[in-house]
Copies of this chain bind each other. A is one copy, B any other.
């Protein structure tokens, strides 16, 4: 049901023609507005400027254990960086590997390693087991799905709910199909809805009884400290929860400072149980002598401790909160009774759900009017949103004025698409 359905065909046509006229005017302006990627804005990057030269002399490069960050040595992260992430994420240092600039890279490598070498507890590399599958809570993060697609891992979509993935389905599939080797999770401020998994969902992940002995939860805690309001959103600790059931070997945990310091030049970590770390490290040591320790040191000297990161995240929040609110207030004003949207308390996206069959049409209308949206379907495996209704909105990168303009146009496009559909069904 949408608010247009009580209108007559004539009223609908009149409304549509007015909207099309406005969109035509926008189109004629030849604007180029972009709501596609979850990139921090320049004003957000500026608040980390001090990090650029916080390590400026040779003396600044000496670790607390005496190792010179400039030289070779230390595979798994300098001690002070381990301590920073340990405190920030509540993960013991021995379970952390502090790596390079990209958690996506670590995730790809983790899948590649499982394909080539297998995982702790598995009998064979994933790549030697015929067809294997991943569960993909959807909508989800397109780059997770791109890893599976590149590797030839079959993706099975699972519905997302405000409490996390539909765990009834996850439990049923994982417990019966031993070719299911993994599931992608963004457990806090999920991409794109901004949902945070409920305690029960995390418990159910810990209690899963997978048919595969080499099943892994890819726990991408990308937005671990990315609240946009003062209120802290709590996510149950996956490792502690798993420990209760002795299932901690099933978790591969990822995080990074990409949206804390610099997206291209942050520091990324992976965390895992002792058994997993013991399996991973020798392979990692064939892959590299070590990661960029000077950049790890920059992060430590700039943030100092978890409190420093939290204070920094408040500055980010102050910049992006008005952007999220501008999107949501426009949606409330223009789209009530026509579409649904999420109202996240953190993260980088708003998910807009339009009536079935309208998302691709909105994408095209917006493109014609000068607004680039993330491709409809992008947040589903193989780019296939079966009901063609989800659009991912990224409010952080455009200037505030561009954002407001783009969202106004987007709202017109949604109205136009829904009007077209309603007229067609009359």
Contacts and interface: CB of A to CB of B under 8 A. Distances in A.
Interface stretch (A22-30, A39-47, A84-92, A380-388): A39-47
A72 interface: yes
A264 B151 CA distance: 30
A162 B264 CA distance: 43
A115 interface: yes
A286 to B, nearest CB: 4
B57 A265 contact: no
Given A100-B100, A290-B264, A58 B49 contact: yes
3 A-B pairs with least C-beta separation: A150-B286, A53-B56, A53-B53
A79 interface: no
B289 A104 contact: yes
A173 interface: no
Interface in A286-318: 286-295
B45 A283 contact: no
A184 to B, nearest CB: 14
Contacts of A68: 42, 45
A262 interface: yes
Contacts of A294: 52, 262, 264-265
Given A112-B112, A112-B116, 8 more contacts: A39-B72, A42-B58, A42-B71, A104-B287, A105-B287, A108-B286, A127-B127, A265-B293
Interface in A69-116: 69-73, 100-102, 104-105, 108-109, 112, 115-116
A68 to B, nearest CB: 7
Nearest to A40: B71
Select the residue from A68, A104, A285, A289 with max chain B CB neighbours within 10 A. Answer: A289
A234 to B, nearest CB: 29
Contact of A263 (B53, B71, B149): B71
A423 interface: no
A156 interface: no
B101 A291 contact: yes
Contacts of A143: 286, 289
A45 B70 contact: yes
Given A105-B287, A292-B100, A52 B45 contact: no
A70 to B, nearest CB: 4
Contacts of A116: 112, 115-116, 127, 151
Interface in A252-299: 258, 262-265, 282-283, 285-295
Contact of A69 (B70, B73, B264, B291): B264
B286 A146 contact: yes
Nearest to A48: B70
Given A292-B101, A292-B292, A58 B70 contact: no
A321 interface: no
A211 interface: no
A248 B98 CA distance: 37
A293 B100 CA distance: 12
